[in-house]
Chain A
Amino acid sequence: MSEVETNTVATPDDPFVADADLRPALFEWLCRMGDNALILGHRTSEWCGHGPVLEEDIALANTALDLIGHTQMWLGLAGEVEGEGRNADNLAYLRDAMKFKNVLLVELPKGDMAVTMMREFLFDAYHHLLLTWLAENSKSPRVAEIAAKALKEVSYHLDRASDIVVRLGDGTQESHRRMQAALDLLWPYTGELFAGDDVDAAIVEAGIAPDLGALHADWNGLVSEVLEEATLQMPEPGGYAHLGGKQGRHTEHLGFILAEMQFLQRAYPGASW
């Protein structure tokens, strides 16, 4: 290459990026944002070439692509905040399962279309609320600009997912049965979306992100409206919640995703093309 530097980032000033006290929590929080997008994106991409109809195949692949784009932004910023020379690729391909901080919901196997679309809907509803808050209120300009970019795409995700939940829920007897089964399977994994810990508390305190618990009521409202329209029975809010993904304690499924996703960089370190 010549002396050209490509893809430097034109950045607004953001005091949080170099804030040494906040660094561990902010790095952790950015990894959670990036890992949710990465793992859900990877799961969604598993449909590429396998969709039930061409249009759905294309829609799922496009959705996955958006999520991988978000991953690059969030993990890119995480690497910058960490300040140890790791970029988004290093973080995605060279961390082990316990260093991944995604919620358990996104790593569950893709299942059938009912599980895939119900998961996307439950996550999109949360994602949309969270990104809206970040884009409008985050005191970190870097976080706010990534959220504003991602939000435009996630609006289309939520639109499509909620539409499909209604159409399949209020569809045939078989599609209804599958959607209800998917909802019952996934519901205990939604509590983790709103369970804050010390990392969240530090980020909320800094004004970067909202108190997750405070988003829960809006999420319940949005989700219950769509589920009602879909003629599906919403499980009791506040039931048992599977936790641990955000702290690196994962289901057995994550390791298999990483084995597939990271194989090339593990077998041929530094390979590029």
Chain B
Amino acid sequence: MGEAILFTLFSLSAVAFALGMVFRRNAVHCALHLVGVLLSLSGMFVLLHAQFIAAIQILVYAGAIMVLFLFVVMLLNVKGETPLLTPGAAKGFGFFFAFIAFVELLWIVVSQGGTEGEPAPVPALPPNFGSPAEIGKILYTTWLFPFEVTSILLMIAVVGAVVLAKRKFA
């Protein structure tokens, strides 16, 4: 029962913050709304037995990535766009295609469910499901090679960011 209440709370706040993020004019407000979405999702991760993911969601996303965003927002000092949305037919097409995509996603969710009209039952999980120890065990055995490739990717990204930001353009 409590889980259902928390789920409703987190999902409503996530959707509300997401709408605020897309339709606010001030970029700093948008960034703070995105932090709200990330925190709500972190709460949902805890409900889904993903405690480690919830923790790094706050540390990496709400911490590191959003600070980077806010730095750039304040560095660029972008004036509020007028008009807010892209003008002309492109706006109509944008909403139209987003609506089509939503209907498709909805259709997939509805058609892939469990038995007729009933949501699939939630399986019982072992008590240590999603704990850092269990995550670490499969991350450093089954997924060791992708993990090492990720480190190379991050190094390339850092080098690329420095090169792009320091280059003098004519």
Is B truly associated with A?
A: no
